[in-house]
Amino acid sequence: MDSKILEKSQYWTGSMFDSETVAQVKHLIANDEKELTESFYRDLEFGTGGLRGIMGVGTNRMNAYTVGMATQGFANYIKQQFPNLSQIKVAIAHDCRNNSRFFAETAANIMSGLGFKVFLFEDLRPTPELSFAIRELKCQGGIVLTASHNPKEYNGFKAYWSDGGQLIAPHDNNVINEVNKVKIEDINFKGQPSNIEVLGKEFDQIYLKKLHGLSLNPQAIARQSNLSIVYTPIHGTGVSLVPEILSIFGFKNVQSVKEQTVVDGNFPTVHSPNPEERTALAMAIALAEKDGAELVMATDPDADRVGIAVRNQKNEFVLLNGNQTGALLLNYLLTQWKATGKLTGKEYVVKTIVTSELLADMAKAHQVEYFDVLTGFKYIADVILQNEGKKTFIGGGEESYGYLAGEFVRDKDAVMACALIAEAAAYAKDNGMSLYEQLLDIYKTYGVYYEDLISLTKKGKEGLEEIIAMMANYRANPPKSIAGVSVQMIKDYKLSLSKDLLTGNTSPIDLPKSDVLQFYLTDGTKISVRPSGTEPKIKFYIGVKDAYSGNIESDIESAKQKISSIRKDLNLN
């Protein structure tokens, strides 16, 4: 057995740990070397989504002690950054997952014991409402306990800064440094209850009122208020607020999937609570087909991401990918801002580098500035922060089903997105179109964009080493052609360098360093490769574009075949 792992695990049998934890660790030491290794071979680190891992004992697991160390380290850093404040304020929220309330209360106790004013939500709440609370209550930071759409055995700890966005450099690395200094015996888990203020439904109304202010065409909703919508929270935090915001916007024909409105961290009706997957929407689609609904929407457990299904020209429900939904939403925002005379030349949109270039093309067509950022919504939030008071953020998002409009939330917001997607559907219907027909119209205007995402799961220590080796190999032996098409440009965000293979010219990339590679082919195809910052996966994003030929179905099928050839050539099938 690795001596370092053994030493770390034996520390966890000390008197400062509760008896249940000690018993579990001793059992692993005596009986399960593999699980012991997985539990202690590393410490959980902040990735693009913060701290996230499987629940259990150990330094590489989510438990009261890893949450405690993260909270203490984060609190220590906040105190360093705001030394002159008489009282530091933080907000804390949690989702529906097993232990989420316990972890949230653990964090609240620790911070209250340090003298912080803690605003703790009374029960589960969407992650974007936590971001809103930080700004609304003028907090110096915030925490949400969630593992987003991950399987039930996961939980997570997302840290937020005073702007309402997730931690970015240098704060993220600095917090890690502070967390690494923390010892379990230094943490006061008891806290000071008098420093904790509970946030309830009254605060929800402040948030919902702000969301309602984003509505761009209430007249269209009034005319199409009977638009038939089916919604599912997939057992998560959207259960109350999404139906409520749809009602506030004016939609009168909204059904929720009753079986999935039951709040349950075991997600009993789905294999995975991931709105990217059709199986997660299966019950909602079945209800929509039964009752003749026009739009299906599903939010993930912490209600920051939304997946939708719409009826195609054959009246069949199709699940749109994150790029397609993002294109529909941004198209609606841009056209309505233009129609209402709100475009002044100082507006902008933001997308991530792995998101479809269709969003950039739409911005250009409306003469609206756009920004590309690294994967992770915290980078979109940073652009909003940097432009605050100088330019106006219209909206933006990422291919992983996260979208945002307005500036009062600084993270992806599925509560907001559901309302605006429904409004876009009402506007389309008011003009004699379905959302699917609207998407086809976008393709006819800008070209047929089609994307695919392939995630290869590589679990554990061996999996992490394999992912590192794959990225190293792509850098050492980059492909000269893919599926018979020459590679024209390679962008290496770890080296901050872009190289044109046809001319040999190189240019710097003005973004933070990140372990991402992009291959641009001569036919306009873009392939991005990156290890996930929150999951044991390496992801391949493939995006192709073809001119509209006059037959949209044929064009889409051609795009799918091109992607299939790329997958085969890269051994991704």
Active site (catalytic) residues: 148
- The set of long-range contacts for 279-283, using a CB threshold of 8 Å and a minimum separation of 24, is 280/234, 280/307, 281/232, 281/307, 281/309, 281/319, 283/232, 283/257, 283/259
For residues 70-93, one letter each, b for 16 or more C-beta atoms within 10 angstroms of the residue's C-beta and e for the rest, the string is: bbbbbbbbbbeeeeeeeebbbbbb
Provide the CB-side half-sphere exposure for 160 (13 A, CA): 32
Beta strands in 95-225 (DSSP E): 117-121, 141-145, 154-161, 196-199
Collapsing DSSP to helix, strand or coil, 498 comes out as strand
Q: Among 401, 397, 406, which residue's Cα sits nearest to residue 362?
A: 397
Q: How many residues does the chain have?
A: 573
CB within 8 Å of 115: residues ≥ 6 apart: 87, 88, 192, 195
In angstroms, the CA 51 to CA 61 distance is 10
In angstroms, the CA 573 to CA 327 distance is 27
Query: Distance from first CA to last CA of the chain, Å, rounded?
Result: 37
Tell me phi and psi for residue 252, to 5 degrees.
Answer: -110, -5
DSSP secondary structure letter of residue 258:
G
For residues 181-195, one letter each, b for 16 or more C-beta atoms within 10 angstroms of the residue's C-beta and e for the rest, the string is: ebebeebebebbeeb
In angstroms, the CA 41 to CA 29 distance is 13
In angstroms, the CA 212 to CA 221 distance is 12
